[in-house]
Chains A and B, each alone.
Chain A
Amino acid sequence: MVQPVLDVVGLKKSFDDIHAVRGVSFHIDPGETYGLLGPNGAGKTTTISMASGLLESDAGTVNIYGEPMTTKTLDPKAKVGLVPQDIAIYPDLTARENLRFFGKLYAMNKEALKTRVDEVLEVIGLSDRADDRADEFSGGMKRRLNIGIGLLHGPRLLILDEPTVGVDPQSRNAILESVERLSDEGLAVLYTTHYMEEAERLCDRVGIIDQGEIKAEGTRRELLRMVGKADRVRIAVSGGSHNVAESLRALPGVTDASAADGMVELIAGDAGEVLADVLRLVTDAGASVMSVAVDEPDLEAVFLHLTGKALRD
């Protein structure tokens, strides 16, 4: 059996009365990209903070290649590259100075560091801005530098916490392509996101997390199988639709429904059979239908099925 790069077992963490993480377990095999998919506040960042040895857990264990990872252990951290959600760089240092600084914290020797800094600057597309201060960079460039720091020391596991939040589409695509390339090169990746399409595009396996618990885990195909062969219907509305979800769930053929912020979503075995009744219920509730879209099920539908709410809720 292959030793997992990361093995998380029964992690728990509470902040006062808030149970942020309630017994999360998962593992990542070498070369695998694992996604933690869940809405804001689901416990993703708390989970990876403990997995990275940044935050003390209340219970549970984290092992990197079999070595325990805690806030006090050092060796396992040398195998991990961390890219935090919030950009964590010195704005008044240049890109090169930031990279050098963190390289020294990974105890890289002078020559190796010099070479590696140039390589990483090339990878993140900042070679021509290497000696500019980071506070002169655009948001996307800062994000790329943030990722570059995580790659600098050649980690065996790269942990990315929502790396595309607040990024323009062009930079976002560049980041996703970088992660795909690193994954193709055999790097194990832990990727958290609340964007369903990112999880579908990048991840070999996905853990769906909500309210501090992993609700389901598997490949995309395995997860879709959980919700059966069903269609997802999305209806853009204006006007009151808040109380319509319960009525929709009561319709024969509808397995799940939610309504929020001008959007009604439901899962149905056959959208064509229920659509007329659905539209009638929505308009009876006082809402005007703006548009209707019917999709095959995706991870968002899985999330809806598992948690009873949409990812953006």
Chain B
Amino acid sequence: MKAVAIATANLLRFVRDRSNIFFVFVLPIGIVLLIGAQFGGDFSPKVGVVTGGTEIGAAIRAGLNAEADVAVVDYAVEAELVAAIERGGVSAGVLIPANADAALAEGGVAEVGFIARPDGLGPQLETVVAEVVASSAQHVDAARFITGLGVDAAAAADAATAAIGQVPDIEVSVVTAGDSIFPASLGQFDIGASTQLVLFMFLTGLAGSAAVIQTRKLGVATRMLGTPTSVGTIVAGEALGRFAIVLTQGIYILLATVLLFQVNWGNPLGVAIVMLAFAAVGAGAALLMGTLFANDQQAGGVGVVAGIGLAAIGGSMLPLELFPDTMRQIANFTPHAWANEAFADLVRREGTIADVLPEVGVLIAFAVGFLVLATWRMRRVLTVR
């Protein structure tokens, strides 16, 4: 009951500091959204097209429109297209001159313009556009070849069109050897949601070390020891408060990502057990930090560096599957790696509770280790000085 009283006081103090609302509830969802937008799969860049009223222009437009990952936007004149590119309305533009058909019919050259900003997706789109233009102009090349054999231009054009229609499409199929790291069914936010949940739960835990230090600096921790309350109970109470905050944030991120981004987290019980274990890790780390540092500025600075650094090493910024072997081994020294691996089992591999038990075991060991060290340190800072 005493531990609950200490935890309740912690929660009351936490709720009264309104800046916590932003860092615990608003920022994480913003980051998940950002990462999903950057690395998720459901994104089609827009390409503006000025066909110039030409047949070749229409063919190029149709070719671009047929590309699955490109959205076509029509513009009447070059000035409108350029303005749209400058404002970011489209990522690139294709400009077909009004005399293109006539020039090609006369055996001349029609120059297709490609316009893009030097940053962004321009370079990638240039390749796509070049392939579509080449594909659209292949009947012109064929007709010219036939004309070269002495056939008149109109008959050559008809023959070329007919011949191209008879060439079978080349079918390209892709086969993944072994298990797919990222299944095709994975949603846009599925990876980012779990890795950011791990990052923020731990970061929020470490930020809680400031409250532990404040309790010490205010003399309240020492005064608690003057009551019939053991150091272990004080640590348990402080940890329980941090645990509740970290777990609340985790549940909030989980629910928000399900409702807003339709993230599929996998086995609910598995997710619950991993979150509970990782919340305990965050709370334990907060307590340890809170007993190691003399003031909350120190703890805040180190906490941010440690929180972001461990998250990076532990696979919260780049999936662990993409790590080189050595880095993968190093990652195992962070609790983040075990939590991320557990969530990867659940989110990407349809894992069950049994599949994540090893990771949960390691996370609990981390939490117990942190709390034992924190209790030892708390006793020293309060009673030895």
Residues of A whose CB lies within 8 Å of any CB of B are 15, 52-56, 71-72, 74-75, 77-78, 80, 82, 84, 86-93, 97, 101-102, 104-107, 149
Kindly supply a per-residue 1/0 record for chain B positions 270-287, scoring 1 wherever the CB is within 8 Å of any chain A CB and 0 otherwise: 000000000000000000
Known: A54-B222, A105-B224. A90 touches B9 (CB 8 A): yes
- CB-CB under 8 A from A55, the residues of chain B are 383-385
Known: A56-B383, A101-B5. A90 touches B229 (CB 8 A): no
Give 26 CB contacts A-B under 8 Å: A15-B385, A52-B226, A54-B222, A54-B226, A55-B384, A55-B385, A56-B384, A71-B231, A72-B230, A74-B229, A74-B230, A75-B228, A77-B227, A77-B228, A77-B229, A88-B222, A90-B220, A92-B16, A92-B17, A97-B12, A101-B5, A101-B9, A102-B223, A104-B5, A105-B229, A107-B2
Bound: A88/B219 CA distance, A:
5
Bound: A89/B222 CA distance, A:
11
Which of B6, B17, B218, B383 meets A54, CB within 8 Å?
Answer: B383
- CB-CB under 8 A from B226, the residues of chain A are 52-54, 77, 80, 82, 84
Bound: A52/B219 CA distance, A:
14
Bound: A88/B217 CA distance, A:
9
Q: Which residue of A lies closest to B219 (CB)?
A: A88
- Closest Cβ of chain A to B302, distance in Å, is 24
- Does residue B71 face the partner (Cβ distance < 8 Å to A)? no
Bound: A56/B384 CA distance, A:
6
On whether the beta carbons of B223 and A88 are closer than 8 Å, the reply is yes
CB contacts between A and B, total, < 8 Å: 79
On whether the beta carbons of B5 and A105 are closer than 8 Å, the reply is yes
- Does residue B1 face the partner (Cβ distance < 8 Å to A)? yes
Interface residues of B in 222-272 (CB under 8 A from A): 222-231
Interface size on B, residues (CB 8 A): 27
Q: Is the interface of A mostly helix, strand, loop or mixed?
A: loop
Which of B5, B16, B218, B385 meets A89, CB within 8 Å?
Answer: B218
On whether the beta carbons of B13 and A93 are closer than 8 Å, the reply is yes
- CB-CB under 8 A from A97, the residues of chain B are 9, 12
Known: A56-B383, A84-B222. A105 touches B13 (CB 8 A): no
Bound: A306/B219 CA distance, A:
34
- CB-CB under 8 A from A56, the residues of chain B are 383-384
Interface residues of B in 331-385 (CB under 8 A from A): 379, 382-385
Q: Which residue of B lies closest to A55 (CB)?
A: B383
- Closest Cβ of chain A to B77, distance in Å, is 64
Kindly supply a per-residue 1/0 record for chain B positions 197-236, scoring 1 wherever the CB is within 8 Å of any chain A CB and 0 otherwise: 0000000000000000000001110111111111100000
Kindly supply a per-residue 1/0 record for chain B positions 6-32, scoring 1 wherever the CB is within 8 Å of any chain A CB and 0 otherwise: 100100110011000000000000000
Q: Which residue of A lies closest to B384 (CB)?
A: A56
- Closest Cβ of chain A to B41, distance in Å, is 46
- Closest Cβ of chain A to B159, distance in Å, is 87
- Closest Cβ of chain B to A273, distance in Å, is 51
Q: Which residue of A lies closest to B237 (CB)?
A: A105
On whether the beta carbons of A104 and B385 are closer than 8 Å, the reply is no
Known: A71-B383, A74-B230, A90-B13. A105 touches B222 (CB 8 A): no
On whether the beta carbons of B1 and A104 are closer than 8 Å, the reply is yes
Known: A104-B2, A107-B1. A88 touches B220 (CB 8 A): yes
- Closest Cβ of chain A to B6, distance in Å, is 8
Bound: A54/B6 CA distance, A:
18
Bound: A87/B218 CA distance, A:
8
- CB-CB under 8 A from A92, the residues of chain B are 13, 16-17
Q: Which residue of B lies closest to A104 (CB)?
A: B5
- Closest Cβ of chain B to A60, distance in Å, is 15
- CB-CB under 8 A from B218, the residues of chain A are 88-91
Q: Which residue of A lies closest to B215 (CB)?
A: A90
- CB-CB under 8 A from B13, the residues of chain A are 90, 92-93
- CB-CB under 8 A from A105, the residues of chain B are 2, 5-6, 224, 227-229
Bound: A235/B244 CA distance, A:
63
- Closest Cβ of chain A to B51, distance in Å, is 67
Which of A15, A91, A102 meets B227, CB within 8 Å?
Answer: A102
- Closest Cβ of chain A to B232, distance in Å, is 10
- CB-CB under 8 A from B2, the residues of chain A are 104-105, 107
Q: Which residue of B lies closest to A88 (CB)?
A: B219
Known: A86-B219, A88-B222, A89-B218. A106 touches B230 (CB 8 A): no
- CB-CB under 8 A from B225, the residues of chain A are 53-54, 71
Bound: A15/B220 CA distance, A:
22
Bound: A149/B6 CA distance, A:
15
Q: Which residue of B lies closest to A74 (CB)?
A: B228
- CB-CB under 8 A from A106, the residues of chain B are 227-228
Q: Which residue of B lies closest to A71 (CB)?
A: B383
Bound: A102/B5 CA distance, A:
9
Q: Which residue of B lies closest to A85 (CB)?
A: B219
